[in-house]
Structure 1
Amino acid sequence: MIHTEHHRSHRSGWLRAAVLGANDGIVSTSSLILGVAAASTAQSDIMLAGVAGLVAGAMSMAAGEYVSVSSQADTEHADLNIERKALAEHYELEQEELADIYITRGLEPELARQVAEQLMTNDALGAHARDEIGITDTGQARPLQAALSSAATFTAGALLPLLVAWWAPSSLLTPLVALFSLLFLALLGAIAARVGGAPMLKAAARVMFWGSLAMALTSAIGRVFGVVA
């Protein structure tokens, strides 16, 4: 019988992006709704501000992720070009360099040289990309994928407090949006922790704390400006 272990570290990339997008959607939209509501604005204006915040936030997340991941991809391509040139001009030295990496990881020198030679015979650039630079197929930068997933998760998160604001009566809009947003954040933190194998209660408390802080500050600012106006 083959013993297998189920690790969760391979989920870290997409899980981070999904949690970040959804968390930003919930926190920013609920905070915006509460801030506008605190200024004694009509419910139609609150909904308009919420929808505008959703669209602006989703586009901002998409653009930010695309630019950020594109920069990472450019750096990876530049490093691969440097490595490709080094392999063409100094193949033996590159093989020794790879062997030295394996020696530092605990292999015997002779075995390390054999491993380096065999790996480079099969895929020299791939071996150096993985073990020297740290670029893997699963971790390679994909700008468009990152942009679309961030926009989608932000939109999904932002829709939750927006739907509560649309459904809630005007007199209860503020407490209901705040309450449900905190519940959504707790659920998001717990799900993310469950998928990632982390303590669920700690993760839920963490996102609830920062979410409540953001909503409280925005609501206070809206109340101040509402009084001034």
Structure 2
Amino acid sequence: MSDLHADEPHGAGLGARLNWLRAGVLGANDGIVSVASLVVGVAGATTDNSALLIAGLAGLVGGAISMALGEYVSVSSQRDTERALISKEREELRTMPAEELDELTTLYRRRGLSEQTARQVAVELTEHDALAAHLEVELGIDQHDLVNPWHAAISSAVSFTLGALLPLLAILLPPPELRVPITFAAVLIALAATGAISATVGGASPLRASVRLVVGGALALLATWLIGTLLGTTGVV
């Protein structure tokens, strides 16, 4: 009977799933905070629905494109680096097989295996798949599970858009006198939820993650609302 737990992530695809999750959570949080800060700032200066809608949509579209582009460039660079390392390791195995076997043995010795056991493991893994063995132990790379820049970009853009829709609707639907407090409440609840979810998936403390996001989001909203109110009061806008 296998001792692998069914509810634990194993095998190929884990890196891709974690990449999707990371991009998705970051995109949603950024969409919530950035668009909420933008529309709350505008709401502090004016109650005009057209101004709020234009500002919110501009922030949503611009932010989604920016997040997607940033993720694509970042993850593409990471993937290029991984491919270069794989190519280098493949060449070293072709030109220096004996030295590479000694290196793999040494790496397993550093993990606590005896000299004899480390050598046996290194030999058997080299006979099975030398490149995979070196990539895993030496570099922590799975050649069949490289990060995908398109996945990260799409996930980031979609999650940013979904996150941005919350403050946009919260600022437009209520009556003018309730817009700001309702948006504050909706945004802070959403940030607490995304913080708790991301921390739970990653095995961290949900409370600590939620508090960080809520405090940061509250400060951003308060700052932009004060700026908008000040500019609206002085007649600058």
1:12 Cα shift? 4.9
Which moved further from structure 2: 172-181 or 135-144? 135-144
Tell me which residue corresponds to 2:49.
Answer: 43
- Which residue identity does 2:130 align to in structure 1? A
CA distance in 1, matches of 2:218, 2:41: 13
1:2 Cα shift? 5.6
Conservation of the 8 A alpha-carbon contact between 1:27 and 1:211: yes
- Equivalent pairs counted in the alignment come to 229
Which moved further from structure 2: 105-114 or 165-174? 165-174
Secondary structure class of the residue paired with 2:53: helix
- Which residue identity does 2:32 align to in structure 1? I
TM-score under structure 2 normalisation? Answer: 0.88
Secondary structure class of the residue paired with 1:175: helix
1:143-176 alpha-carbon deviations (Å, 9 max, x no partner) = 1111111111111111111111221112221111
Gaps of 5+ in 1: none
Conservation of the 8 A alpha-carbon contact between 1:61 and 1:151: yes
Gaps of 5+ in 2: none
Secondary structure class of the residue paired with 1:150: helix
Conservation of the 8 A alpha-carbon contact between 1:8 and 1:196: no
CA distance in 2, matches of 1:27, 1:138: 36
Tell me which residue corresponds to 1:206.
Answer: 212
1:81 Cα shift? 1.3
CA distance in 1, matches of 2:72, 2:171: 31
Against the structure 1 CA distance between its residues 8 and 27, is the aligned structure 2 distance closer, same or farther, given a 3 Å change threshold? farther
CA distance in 2, matches of 1:155, 1:2: 42
Conservation of the 8 A alpha-carbon contact between 2:38 and 2:56: yes
- The correspondence for 2:225, drawn from 198, 201, 219, is 219
Conservation of the 8 A alpha-carbon contact between 2:23 and 2:71: no
TM-score under structure 1 normalisation? Answer: 0.91
1:82 Cα shift? 1.1
- Which residue identity does 2:97 align to in structure 1? Y
Conservation of the 8 A alpha-carbon contact between 1:31 and 1:218: yes
- The correspondence for 2:59, drawn from 49, 53, 57, is 53
1:73 Cα shift? 0.7
CA distance in 2, matches of 1:158, 1:183: 14
